[in-house]
Structure 1
Amino acid sequence: MELSFYKILLDYLYDGVYFVNKDRKIIYWNTSAESLTGYSSKDVVGCYCYNNILKHTNCEGCLLCRGELCPLAKTLKDGFPREEELYLLHKNGHRIPILVRISPVRNEQNEIIGAVEVFSDNSRKSHLLEQLAQFKELSLIDSLTGLGNKRCVDIELSAKMNEMNKVGRPFFGVLFADIDHFKRVNDQYGHDTGDKILEMVAKTIQNSVGNRGIAFRWGGEEFFVIVNTHVKEELVKVAERVRAMTEQSVFHLGLEDIRVTISVGATLAELNDTDETLVKRADELLYVSKRNGRNKVTTSFSNE
C-alpha cells in the first residue's frame, strides 16, 4: 500500500499523532493533532519540536521541550517507550492537559531513526459537562468564559457545606484567584482583548483543576475553585498547578505575546465554617499573595 493510504488512516484517529526524525524535526502532523492544538500541519511540519511550539510543561509548570526533561528526546536517546501526563499550549493561548505516549521508530538495522508521539485530551470532562448543562438551564453560566457564575458558586458551595455537616467531616477546599494587574491589560490593549485574556485564563484554570474540582468566574477578573480534597498537600499542589499553568499561558495578539499571572488564596473547609467564613478566609489569603508580590499562592490550615 502507498504511504498516502497510511496517512489517511492516521487522519481518522481520534488521537493526535506526529512523527519526528532523529534530529527532532517534525515530518508528519495528523488532522486530530490540528484539532487538539489549533496548529495546522503547515504551521508545524518542517519545524523542530525543540522550537517550543507547543511549550509542553509538566504538572509543576516546568517547560520541557528545550531541556533534558523532554520525554521525546529521552526516547530518541535510550529507545524506551514513555507515557506521561503533560500540558500543551493551544494556539489560542490556553493550557490543555494531555496524555502523551511516545515510541521509537527503527530501521531494518534496528537503529533509531525517529519517534512517534500519540497524544489525547486528558481533561476527563464528562462529569463537568453534565454539571454545566444543568447550570446553563438555570442561568448559572457566565456567558463570556462558560464557567459557572457567582450565583452558581453560592449554590454549589452551600450544597458542599450542607453535605459536610451531614457526614460530620470536612472533605473539600477552595481557591480564590485574581488576575494580576488586569486593569493594565484593559487599558493597554482594550476590553475586547481583555475578554480574550479572561477566556484564556478561565480555560487554563479549569483544565489545570481537571477532575479534582470545578472552577467558577466569581466576577471581573476573579475566579473561585472548589477542590475535592481535604489533604492540604493536594490542595497546595492543585493551587500551584493553577498558578503555574496560567503563568505559562500566552495570548497571541498579532506579533505580540500577552502573558498574565494570578494570585491565589487556598484553604480547606472546616466543620465550624459557614459559606461566608470560608469565602472570606480564601479572599484574605488571596490579598496576602497580592501584597507579597503577586503570582503567588498563600495558604492557611487549621493545624498550622
Structure 2
Amino acid sequence: MEKINYLEILDCLYDGVYFVDLNRKITFWNKAAEKITGFTKQQVIGTHCHESLLKHINKNGSLLCVDTCSLAQSIKEGKEKEAEVFVHHREGHRVPVLVHVSPVRNSFGVIIGAVENFSENSLKSNLLDQLEKYRNLSLVDPLTDLLNRRYLEVYLQNKINELKVYQYSFFGVLFIDIDYFKNVNDSFGHDIGDNVLKMVSKTLKNSLGNDEVVCRWGGEEFIAVVQCNSLYSLFSKADMFRFLVKQSFVPVNGKIVSVTISVGAAMANPNDTVESLVKRSDTLIQQSKSLGRNRVSIEESFK
C-alpha cells in the first residue's frame, strides 16, 4: 500500500495550518497560510511565533503573541483553544481570522508542540463579488479598491431614508483621516504613500461587520458607515479601527512605516441629510486633531 504523506494533504487544505515545537518555533507552514498572510514558508519556518511576522492582535489592538498566546496556553494546559484575531499581512494590513489551536502529542501522549489552523472571515467572497459589480459601475476607487465618494453619497441617502421610515435601522458615520500623511509622502515618496493608503484601506475594510461599508472620501480621508444601537457601540467600533490601524505597518527596506488615524463619530438621526451627517462627523474629527490626533471624538451626549 502506498504511504500517505500527510504534510502534502495539509498543503491542499483551504485553511492555513502551521506547527510549532515546545519553544514555539515554527516547523511547518502550508500553502493556504502563505495565501492568507502573504508570507512564504521560507520566510516563516525557523522563526518563533512570539517574534513572528504575524503579530496576532485582538479587536482591541492588544498584542497576543507574548502574554496571551493561544499556542503557549495550549501547550501548557494541554487543551484546545479558539479565538478571533487579526494577523499582520505581508503588505501591511490586518486580516481577520478564526483561529483553532490544538496540542500535539507523541506516541507516549507527551506534548511536543502545537498546531494552529486559521481561516479568513467568511464575508470575503461576498464582498469580492459586490466589489466587482461596483467596479463596473465606476463606483470603486482605483488605488485602494474601496467604494468611492459617489457611491457613499447615494448609500448614505438610502440609509437615512430607511431610518426615517422604519425608525430602527440605527447606524453611525465615522470620518477617518490619516494623521500627518504628508510627512509619509515627504519622507518616503508617493509610492510608499500609496502603499500606506492601501494598507489602511484593507485594514478598515477587513474590520467591517455585516451591512457596513467604508469608502475613500478623498486624499487620505475615509468614511465608514457602521451599524450601532448606541453611541457607546459606535465609539467602540471607531476605537477598534484606530487600534487596528495603529498596529499595522508597511515594511520598507528593513524598516517599518506606520501611521495613526483620527476619527470623528456621529450617530445618524431621522432629521439628518447626507450633508449634515458628514458635516457633524467632520467637525468631530477636527476636535480629534486639536486634541493631539490618534483618537476618537464623539458627540457630547456620549460623555
Q: What interval of TM-score do these two structures reach, taking the shorter chain for normalisation?
A: over 0.9
Gap change, CA 1:3 and 1:254, over 3 Å in 2: farther
Kindly state the Cα deviation for residue 235 of structure 1 after the two structures are TM-superposed: 1.6
What residue in structure 1 maps to residue 269 of structure 2?
Answer: 270
- Where structure 2 has 5 or more consecutive residues not aligned to the other structure, the ranges are none
Letter of the 1:261 counterpart:
T
Letter of the 1:30 counterpart:
N
What residue in structure 1 maps to residue 62 of structure 2?
Answer: 62
**Matched-pair contact (CA < 8 Å) for 2:232–2:302:** no
Kindly report structure 1 stretches of 4+ aligned residues shifted beyond 3 Å: 1-4, 301-304
| Alignment partners' CA distance in 2, 1:3 and 1:153 | 56
| Alignment partners' CA distance in 1, 2:3 and 2:119 | 24
- Where structure 1 has 5 or more consecutive residues not aligned to the other structure, the ranges are none
| Alignment partners' CA distance in 2, 1:295 and 1:211 | 26
Kindly state the Cα deviation for residue 147 of structure 1 after the two structures are TM-superposed: 0.5
Kindly state the Cα deviation for residue 255 of structure 1 after the two structures are TM-superposed: 1.3
Residue pairs, 1:3-22, within 5 angstroms = 5-22=5-22
What residue in structure 1 maps to residue 164 of structure 2?
Answer: 165
Residue pairs, 1:127-276, within 5 angstroms = 127-211=126-210, 213-276=212-275
Gap change, CA 1:51 and 1:2, over 3 Å in 2: farther
Residue pairs, 1:16-95, within 5 angstroms = 16-66=16-66, 68-95=67-94
Kindly state the Cα deviation for residue 160 of structure 1 after the two structures are TM-superposed: 0.6
TM-score (ref. length: structure 2): 0.95
Kindly state the Cα deviation for residue 214 of structure 1 after the two structures are TM-superposed: 1.0
Kindly state the Cα deviation for residue 226 of structure 1 after the two structures are TM-superposed: 0.5
Kindly state the Cα deviation for residue 126 of structure 1 after the two structures are TM-superposed: 3.7
Gap change, CA 1:2 and 1:49, over 3 Å in 2: farther
| Alignment partners' CA distance in 2, 1:28 and 1:126 | 27
| Alignment partners' CA distance in 1, 2:141 and 2:265 | 23
Of all paired residues, the percent bearing the same amino acid is 49
**Matched-pair contact (CA < 8 Å) for 2:44–2:52:** no
Q: How many residues align?
A: 303
Kindly state the Cα deviation for residue 137 of structure 1 after the two structures are TM-superposed: 2.4
Residue by residue, what CA displacement relative to the aligned partner does 1:250-298 show, whole Å, maximum 9, x if unpaired? 1011112100010001121011211111111111111111111111011
Provide the aligned C-alpha RMSD in A: 1.7
SS at match of 1:77: helix
TM-score (ref. length: structure 1): 0.95
Letter of the 1:59 counterpart:
K
What residue in structure 2 maps to residue 292 of structure 1?
Answer: 291
Deviates more, 1:264-273 or 1:216-225: 264-273
Letter of the 1:234 counterpart:
S
Gap change, CA 1:5 and 1:235, over 3 Å in 2: same
